[in-house]
Structure 1
Amino acid sequence: MVTTTTLKGTRIFRNVFFMASFLFCTSLFAQDAVNEEKGILQFETPVLDYGTIAHNADGVRSFKFKNVGNAPIVITSVKGSCGCTVPTKPDAPIMPGETAEIGVKYATNRVGAFTKSVTVTSNASEGTMLLKIKGTVLPAATAASATPDKKSGK
């Protein structure tokens, strides 16, 4: 015959065993997260300011960064927020301590103020990062009058 004391003891044993198993498994996953090696992207600046630039000027700039983590970084994609912003990425992995650049070309044939973004996807600890470019493209007539006349020197 099974007594109520035996049933209570079995339940307590099951509960203690379940809790111990749960805590053990949790501690294993926590160790994996702590020991995991990751690259870390450290950009000189997350925003490139073109300032005021002439119409049809050179719109090529770059975001410089360093891998300050402890594992190589592979950038899988870089995407501009529109067709006027064309980014380029490094093809090779960026090893710990190395520096690299993400290039960006803005179409300066578009007049006026602009703020665009570049989304960077990688295996770094950040996963996905958002970079920004901004500036103002002058109208063609304003840009021409701001350029000194070669004959007069004005």
Structure 2
Amino acid sequence: MRTQNLLLTWSISMVLLFTACDEKKDTRVTADIVTNSQSADGVSNLPVSMIRFEEDTFRFGEVLEGEKVSHAYRFTNIGNNDLVIANASGSCGCTVPEWPKEPIKPGKSGVINVVFDSERRAGKAEKSITIYANTEPSRHVLFLKGTVKPKSN
């Protein structure tokens, strides 16, 4: 009986060990990998651009709960290469950005439109919008701030 228990324990341990070693690795490519302009020796090997926002924070003041706040964050490509915005995301589902999918030529401008839905968001609102582009650094953060007044029942 003791030998049987030891054999069973050993078998279960081996199965767990081999399955744990066979984990699938996450092979998704992120914007950080795609836009890293530095090689191992520190020499730039990818064309990067530069982005300048007219503002990085929009203060919308006070709105009544349930209202939607829209804002256009204007930017200019001040680099020498095409600017490509790979992704933009809000800090929660209530903040939704829309960005240009086509490259922005050097010297040209574009807009990232953001809509904040204040439904069930009464109180102080501080939302962030994270932008990933072929710039150095590749991540830029914009902010949307204000106060949402609760609905009167």
TM-score range, shorter chain: 0.5 to 0.7
Aligned to 2:61: 51
Aligned to 1:16: none
Aligned to 2:128: 117
Q: Is 1:92 the counterpart of 2:79 in the alignment?
A: no
Distance 2:82 2:108 in 1: 9
Aligned to 1:104: 114
Instruction: Give the unaligned 5+ runs of structure 2.
Output: 1-40
Distance 1:116 1:68 in 2: 26
Distance 1:96 1:38 in 2: 11
Residue 37 of structure 1 and its aligned partner are, at CA, apart by 4.6
Distance 2:84 2:68 in 1: 28
Contact 1:40/1:126 (<8 A) preserved: no
2:81 corresponds to which letter in structure 1? A
Q: Is 1:132 the counterpart of 2:150 in the alignment?
A: no
2:68 corresponds to which letter in structure 1? D
Structure 1 stretches (4+) deviating beyond 2 angstroms?
35-38, 54-58
Distance 2:137 2:144 in 1: 20
Q: Percent identity?
A: 33
* TM-score normalised by length of structure 1: 0.65
Distance 1:135 1:87 in 2: 17
1:136 corresponds to which letter in structure 2? T
Distance 1:51 1:66 in 2: 26
Aligned length: 112
Residue 130 of structure 1 and its aligned partner are, at CA, apart by 1.2
Distance 1:122 1:128 in 2: 7
Question: Cα RMSD (Å) of the superposition?
Answer: 2.1
Q: CA deviation digits over 1:52-102, x for unaligned, max 9?
A: 122222311121100111110110100111111111111111111111111
2:100 corresponds to which letter in structure 1? P
Which structure has the greater CA radius of gyration?
1
Q: CA deviation digits over 1:97-143, x for unaligned, max 9?
A: 1111111111121211111111101112331111111111112239x
Which shows bigger deviation, 121-130 or 64-73? Answer: 121-130
Q: Is 1:79 the counterpart of 2:89 in the alignment?
A: yes
Check 1:121–1:141 CA distance in 2 against 1; reply closer, same or farther (3 A cut): same
* Bigger fraction of residues in helix: 1
